[in-house]
Amino acid sequence: MKLVKPKKHLGQHFLKDQDVALAIVDALALTDKYKNVLEIGPGMGVLTQYLLQNNNYQTHVIDIDTESVQYLREAYVDTGLKIIEGDFLKADFTQLLSLQEGEQFAVIGNFPYNISTQIIFKILENRPFVPEVVGMFQKEVAERYAAKHGSKVYGITSVLTQAYYNIEYLMTVDATLFDPPPKVQSAVIRLTRKEHLEVECNETMFYKVVKTAFNQRRKTLRNALKALGINYNNIDEVTLGKRAEQLSVAQFIDLTNTLEGNK
Ligand code: SAH
């Protein structure tokens, strides 16, 4: 029987380079920490085929596209692949893989770029389950996640994500390696969860401080933080003279703790 390939839908860009596909799968580094891997948006399975070659974990995939799911069901029959048809953003994270309570899994994927930020947010919210993520993003988005303080693209997403995960920029993937080629360049990053699941300060306050500081990123903190309406007289001059993009995640946490004490 000849397999019917799914029609390409808007927003679907299939990776065609096998070396890159294998390198992405090989980038999962903490395979002793979990027995399950979830691939988001497998499409026609370019990553899936390599995930299935690793016997250290069970591979699960979730795709919203009925035709892709149909294709995978036929192409990977009897391989042990667990296929979920659905929307990752709407799925109940804890029930997704029908795992035992407390079991962790890695997330991998050449993510649909229009929802990649929401995918990462959902993972951040569910971080106790996810020690590691390897994902392909639009290059600019990947750079923002991985950016260190001092970089022009270091911003709210960088800080809020790096509060919980260490992020490594692994490789740039040229648009010509996809079918159809997207208009943007792509890049792969790895997120490795930090030891502390919580930030060592009040989380709500932390979000507020980071957002307030970056909302006026050209201003010094002395001016930008006024919007918080909290006394910050006891914050040192050096810190107050800096702009948001010059502050490391640890410094944002310290700043939050000081401000919290001033309330
Ligand atoms: N990983 C494949 C396909 C990438 S295209 C490859 O590299 O070739 C992105 C895939 O994500 C598509 O198959 C699309 O159907 C799927 N997708 C889009 N939105 C989704 C969602 N909300 N939940 C799950 N999958 C989704």
- For residue range 225-248, what is the model confidence (pLDDT) as tens digits? 999 999 888 899 999 999 999 999
Q: Say yes or no to pLDDT of 51 above 80.
A: yes
- CA–CA dist 163, 119 (Å, integer): 17
Provide the pLDDT for residue 101. Answer: 83
Pocket test for ligand 1, best of 72, 110, 113, 137 (most atoms within 8 A of CB): 110
Please state, for a pLDDT cut of 90, what percent of the chain lies above it.
87
Q: Say yes or no to pLDDT of 123 above 70.
A: yes
Q: Say yes or no to pLDDT of 6 above 80.
A: no
Sorting pLDDT into bands at 50, 70 and 90, what band is 103? very high
Atom 9 of ligand 1: nearest residue by CA position = 112
Q: Say yes or no to pLDDT of 223 above 60.
A: yes
Sorting pLDDT into bands at 50, 70 and 90, what band is 96? confident
Residues in the chain: 263
Q: Do domains 14-193 and 203-261 have the same CATH topology?
A: no
Which of the pair, 230 or 5, is modelled with greater confidence? 230
- CA–CA dist 159, 154 (Å, integer): 8
What's the chain's average pLDDT?
Answer: 94
Provide the pLDDT for residue 262. Answer: 84
Q: Which atom of ligand 1 is nearest to the CA of 16?
A: 8
Three-class secondary structure of residue 54 per DSSP: coil
**Which CATH code, of 1.10.10.10, 1.10.8.100, 3.40.50.300, 3.40.1280.10, is assigned to 203-261?**
1.10.8.100
Tell me phi and psi for residue 212, to 5 degrees.
Answer: -60, -45
Instruction: Note the pLDDT tens digit of each residue in 129-172.
Output: 999 999 999 999 999 999 999 999 999 999 999 999 999 999 99
C-alpha 126 to ligand 1 mean position (Å)? 20
Sorting pLDDT into bands at 50, 70 and 90, what band is 85? very high
| CB-neighbour burial class of residue 248 (10 A; exposed 0-12, middle 13-18, buried 19+) | middle
C-alpha 48 to ligand 1 mean position (Å)? 12
Fold of the 14-193 domain: Rossmann fold (3.40.50)
C-alpha 57 to ligand 1 mean position (Å)? 21
Q: Taking Cα atoms as reference points, which of 114, 94, 108, 118 lies closest to residue 39?
A: 108
C-alpha 141 to ligand 1 mean position (Å)? 17
Strand partners, 39: 61, 108
- CA–CA dist 207, 116 (Å, integer): 20
Atom 18 of ligand 1: nearest residue by CA position = 112
Listed by start position, the domains of the chain span: 14-193, 203-261
- Ligand 1 site: residues with CB under 6 angstroms? 12-15, 40-44, 46-47, 62-65, 68, 87-89, 110, 112, 115
C-alpha 67 to ligand 1 mean position (Å)? 11
Q: Which atom of ligand 1 is nearest to the CA of 14?
A: 8
Tokens of 81: 């692949």
Which of the pair, 8 or 208, is modelled with greater confidence? 208
